[in-house]
Structure 1
Amino acid sequence: MIPEILLIGLIGGLVTGVSPCILPVLPIVLAVSADAKRKPLLVALGIAISFTAITLLGTLALSVLGLPSATLRWVGVALLVIVGLSMLFPALGHLLEKPFATIQVPSWISSKTRGSAGKGSGFGIGLALGAVYAPCAGPVLAAVTVAGATGDIGWPTVILAFSFAFGACVPLFFFALAGSAWSKRAQFATDNRARISRVAGALVLALALAIATDVPAKLQRTLPDWTASIQQKFNSSEDTQSVLNGLRGDSSEDGAQAASASLNACRDEDPSRLLDCGDVPAFEGLTNWINTTPAGSAIDPAHPEKRDGRQTITLVDFWAYACINCQRANEHVTKLYDRYRDYGLNVVGVHAPEYAFEHDAANVAMATNEQGIHYPVAQDNDFLTWNNFSNRYWPAHYLVDAHGRVRQIHEGEGAYAATERLVRQLLADANPGIELPAPIEANTDDAPIATMGRNLETYLGTDRASLFSNPLSEYRAGVHDFAYVDPAEKGYSLEGPWELRGQSISPAGPGAKIHLNYHAALVQIVASGKGELTVTGSDGKVTKFPASEVPGTIDLVKTDGKPASGNLTIEVPESMSAYSLTFG
């Protein structure tokens, strides 16, 4: 088990270490490494050690000492200010670095990381950086954080925490090594070491101020996460989940275990369709409610109440305010709430702290206001609700229908348009005849990261349909005569008389058509019955596709491997039924 824990922690840290999350500390690492006295290895090692200690023990230590939860972060910022001043004033720097200069490293490492000049260390700087380093959230970091916050710390958790921190600091070490090598070899650096040190000190001071005021977060929110695809594959892999589930254990009662198993079975399913993931777990231990008076009133996903005569549904969103992924996702969740709250949508933001300073109620309230969140938010500092949901990620949301059943689980960013369509469908199911406003999200983010770009598999039967552009109130089991509607990007619409069933659709008369907007190298329809499909392309070209009695797939578009975009009109005879559209 130990080797698996080490490997999962190391890989998780490495992926995090090359993500945009390193940006706030990267300039400081480069700046201090340009000073020949600072050893890149000790800078990186200091970050790994302090980050591990603070993540595992910071919350417990502050609680025992009775100190404010933001203490460690401000200590880190203060230490960076001292570092910056020490680089501006070498005498101060020599005095501060002296206690760390005695730290010994193997000679083969020392020869590569220490120049001939100076006896500095860099370890103290690394310790300071570890206190302000806030890597992107993920299931590995979540497991460590929850263990640290709840005091459930064992050797496996310690090993996972340090291997994660080590992996996350490996890229920082190589950046530090590069900065150190440049300062030693470049003639300009050699001739101007004192000036470069002072400039670096000023940069450290500026960046310490920026970190204190969360300026880097604004930049990170605007940048795409270039490691998203890799993180998605790693986080959802069976090996990762097996190791993390083994760390968590489960001492809960049989009923809670069954509920957890039901939720876990839905976590990696297609977020664009409604599922039945079991009853929503109970809210427990939530405190310091924001944006609701009295605190937490009328918010119970397990027993939704009518509001203004409408039955309500609920989106439960787990987040942490310093998590960059959460900040980007919150913009979409807030838009969703603002658009549909008058039509029966509740949103509850369950704030589960990722770092010690996120326990502070004033910090959470300020972040809620700064991030423009209008829906109710409560703190889950003891992770009681988090554990009830067996949650494992920031951000993560659970969509609950009007009967208190979880119908969608999505972890991480994305799937915003898919979630909106499911919200619209549940609101229509709960309130027949409701007239909903126009959607606010585009369709381009619906695909899972691995299939981003081409259409998703598109189910036509009412049990799993989600990508249609017809009015939601009309797309339900029975016979309907649909008016023409332009299909949305990578979506479809029905026109003419159709009989809709749970798994399939069949023409209820002549003139039944499917209008499809696609982007793919291969477009297929899964159909049964005997007859002939008539397909008209964007260029007006008409093609006939015969079908046999045996259900199967029919290739409607097939290119040489390069994706194509366009629209198809598929006229289906009354003798056939259609089940889905698939894409390659």
Structure 2
Amino acid sequence: MIFSMILIGLVGGVLTSLSPCILPVLPLILAVSSGDKRRPYLVVAGLVVSFAALTLVGSLALNALGLPGSTVKWVGIGLLIAVGLGMLVPKLGEWLQAPFDKVPKPYFLQNKVRDRGGFAVGLVLGAVYVPCAGPVLAAITVAAATGEIDARIFGLTLSFAVGAALPLLAFAVGGNKVGQRVDWFQSNQGIIRRVSGVIVILLAIALAFDAPAAIQRSLPDWTSSAQRSLGDKVIIGDGDLETCRREEDATKANDCGKLPELAGLENWFNTDQPVDPLTSGNVTLVDFWAYACINCQRANEHVTKLYDNYKDYGLDVIGIHAPEYSFEEDLANVKKAAQDTGINYPVVQDNNFVTWKNFNNRYWPAHYLTDHNGTVVQIHEGEGKYAETETLVRQLLKERDPNVELPAPVEKDVTDQPREPRNPETYLGAQRSRYQANPVRGQSIGMVDYGPGTPPSLGQYSLAGKWDIGEMSIKPQPGASLQLNYQAKWVQLVVSGKGTIKLTHEDGSVETFDITNPGSVDLIRVENNHQELITIEPDAGLELYSFTFG
């Protein structure tokens, strides 16, 4: 198992470093690797050590010391500027290197570190090297943030760091050899060193202002599909969400079960109160993101457009910010990033990855689309499928309110082809009853005798006999019954109390359900979507709230 994780980490690191995320650090590697032929190896070795260490224990150490999460980033950028100044002024470079020379270490390593500070420079680069949020790195980051570090995660981290460094090493060695073999480079090493120092300083400043992110956002992530294949080998779960996740078909609505619990969240903003998809009655897109993740930045542009277009028609968006790096834990940083990128939908922090783990999530970005009943109908991980998601959103909004007049789509190739039809969520209490076939007087509060009832049309229900009608629920009296004309493959009844429910199918077959605890009971669960008129006869000791359909 550990060997397979090492192999996955190695390949995942290589793929990640070959993505657009290599762009910010590549010029730095080329600039600081010139000179002695051993220097590129020392620089990259330092990067591997610091990147692996910071990924595993950086957030834990910062939490223990009570330091802001952005400390590593800004210390790294500050040291990078110091390295650049040291390249401009050799005496300053020697002074900066002196502390590293005094640290006790094996003789061989000490000689290597003294070689113009290559290893020390690599340590600094590791603090500012922020690659894309690949799925392998996501697994490592979550394990480090939650303290679940074992031999498997340690091997995965180290191999990922080595894999991410190999392409950088190839560039560094290649550039260094060119410099060694060209006479002009050999005769102007002092000038080249000073120019490299200027480059390092300018790029450190650019990193401080996140300027390289603009370049990365403009380029597609050409290794995303390969990274995802590796990520699926790191974390594999079971259940309805995993079944839908593996289907990888974002063009149709699926029945992925109820949305997992949103727990352990803190610091909501862009909203007056927390948003609960299970009680809001709205269609909801739950989006996991991290603000330094370039893939997330590109995807968030589409999520924001979707929210702006449909927020007045019954769509909620919840941006769950799960930090990939320790500096992303700072609320001020998250708020600023959201403001800078135009995110105006509700955002909440999941710094402890509680909700992330409830979803068994593994990617930045990843979204979970629910209907107005809180049932997950689509899971999409990574970028893309924007038109397909908008198509489903439009269908779900029309299912929520058949009379809604939606605005024009915001993505290209959006279609309004209906998904497999099914009944909408059906509330039985007087306050939210909409699909009752009985006369309007049946929505009155109190005891009502419906007589033999009214035959319900498709999508409706009808009460017969005496019922005690409440605001949120209805209570049958002896001999009362309910007819439901449904289309679906899954019918659930929310019920409380103790007693028995007798269900008579259209073909005359009978089933009984013993109710002992409050909650939902599966009355129908079959393979194919179909229509049927069923009769339900509940005992007088029960209380019925709603039907949900899948």
Q: Give the drift of 1:36.
A: 3.1
Q: Distance in 2 between matches of 1:220 and 1:9?
A: 23
1:68 is aligned to 68
Q: Give the drift of 1:244.
A: 3.1
Q: Give the drift of 1:59.
A: 0.9
Instruction: Indicate yes or no: 2:182 matched with 1:163.
Output: no
1:26 is aligned to 26
1:241 is aligned to 232
Correspondent of 1:225 among 217, 221, 226:
221
Correspondent of 2:182 among 186, 200, 210:
186
Q: Give the drift of 1:433.
A: 1.9
1:370 is aligned to 340
Q: Distance in 1 between matches of 2:343 and 2:161?
A: 31
1:276 is aligned to 255
Q: Distance in 2 between matches of 1:441 and 1:303?
A: 29
1:133 is aligned to 129
Cα-to-partner distance string for 1:404-445 (whole Å, 9 max, x where unaligned): 10000000000000000000000001101211111111139x
1:329 is aligned to 299
The alpha-carbon distance between structure 1 residues 7 and 105, as it changes in their structure 2 partners (threshold 3 A), is: farther
1:379 is aligned to 349
Q: Give the drift of 1:225.
A: 1.8
Q: Give the drift of 1:268.
A: 2.7
Q: Give the drift of 1:45.
A: 1.2
The alpha-carbon distance between structure 1 residues 404 and 292, as it changes in their structure 2 partners (threshold 3 A), is: same
8 Å Cα contact 1:43-1:122 kept in structure 2: yes
1:463 is aligned to 420
Q: Distance in 2 between matches of 1:37 and 1:14?
A: 23
1:303 is aligned to 279
1:540 is aligned to none
1:411 is aligned to 381
Q: 2:347 is matched by which residue type in structure 1?
A: V
Q: Distance in 2 between matches of 1:166 and 1:370?
A: 34
Q: 1:304 is matched by which residue type in structure 2?
A: S
8 Å Cα contact 1:38-1:120 kept in structure 2: no
The alpha-carbon distance between structure 1 residues 219 and 464, as it changes in their structure 2 partners (threshold 3 A), is: farther
For this pair of structures, how many residues does the alignment match?
A: 421
8 Å Cα contact 2:319-2:347 kept in structure 1: yes
1:285 is aligned to 264
Cα-to-partner distance string for 1:161-213 (whole Å, 9 max, x where unaligned): 11111100100111111121122111110110000000000000000000011
Q: Distance in 1 between matches of 2:382 and 2:135?
A: 10
Q: Distance in 2 between matches of 1:291 and 1:340?
A: 16
The aligned runs of 1:365-514 (5 Å cut-off) are: 365-443=335-413, 462-463=419-420
Cα-to-partner distance string for 1:382-414 (whole Å, 9 max, x where unaligned): 111111111110000000101110000000000
SS of corresponding position for 1:282: coil
Q: Give the drift of 1:355.
A: 0.1
8 Å Cα contact 2:136-2:234 kept in structure 1: no
Q: Give the drift of 1:98.
A: 4.7
Cα-to-partner distance string for 1:28-71 (whole Å, 9 max, x where unaligned): 00001123376111111111111111111111101111111111
The alpha-carbon distance between structure 1 residues 438 and 97, as it changes in their structure 2 partners (threshold 3 A), is: same
Q: Give the drift of 1:100.
A: 5.1
Q: Distance in 1 between matches of 2:97 and 2:15?
A: 32
SS of corresponding position for 1:188: helix
8 Å Cα contact 1:292-1:376 kept in structure 2: yes
2:324 is aligned to 354
2:454 is aligned to none
The answer for unaligned runs of 5 or more in structure 2 is 423-457, 459-486, 490-550
8 Å Cα contact 1:40-1:176 kept in structure 2: yes
The alpha-carbon distance between structure 1 residues 461 and 74, as it changes in their structure 2 partners (threshold 3 A), is: closer
Q: Distance in 2 between matches of 1:103 and 1:121?
A: 16
Q: 1:244 is matched by which residue type in structure 2?
A: I
Identity %: 54
The alpha-carbon distance between structure 1 residues 199 and 38, as it changes in their structure 2 partners (threshold 3 A), is: farther
1:45 is aligned to 45
Q: Distance in 1 between matches of 2:421 and 2:7?
A: 38
Cα-to-partner distance string for 1:304-339 (whole Å, 9 max, x where unaligned): 23xxxxxx1100000000000000000000000000
SS of corresponding position for 1:265: helix
Q: Give the drift of 1:230.
A: 3.0
The structure with the largest alpha-carbon Rg is 2
8 Å Cα contact 1:35-1:180 kept in structure 2: yes
1:262 is aligned to 240
2:201 is aligned to 205
Cα-to-partner distance string for 1:465-517 (whole Å, 9 max, x where unaligned): 9xxxxxxxxxxxx9xxxxxxxxxxxxxxxxxxxxxx999xxxxxxxxxxxxxx
8 Å Cα contact 2:51-2:129 kept in structure 1: yes
8 Å Cα contact 1:37-1:120 kept in structure 2: no
1:562 is aligned to none
Q: 1:85 is matched by which residue type in structure 2?
A: L
8 Å Cα contact 1:37-1:119 kept in structure 2: no
The answer for unaligned runs of 5 or more in structure 1 is 246-256, 306-311, 447-458, 466-477, 479-500, 504-584
Q: 1:124 is matched by which residue type in structure 2?
A: A
1:517 is aligned to none
| Stretch deviating more after TM superposition (30-39 or 183-192) | 30-39
Q: Distance in 1 between matches of 2:150 and 2:50?
A: 18
SS of corresponding position for 2:284: strand
Q: Distance in 2 between matches of 1:394 and 1:379?
A: 14
Q: Distance in 2 between matches of 1:376 and 1:140?
A: 28
Q: 1:92 is matched by which residue type in structure 2?
A: L
TM-score using structure 1 length: 0.69
SS of corresponding position for 1:378: strand
8 Å Cα contact 1:285-1:384 kept in structure 2: yes
Q: 1:200 is matched by which residue type in structure 2?
A: S
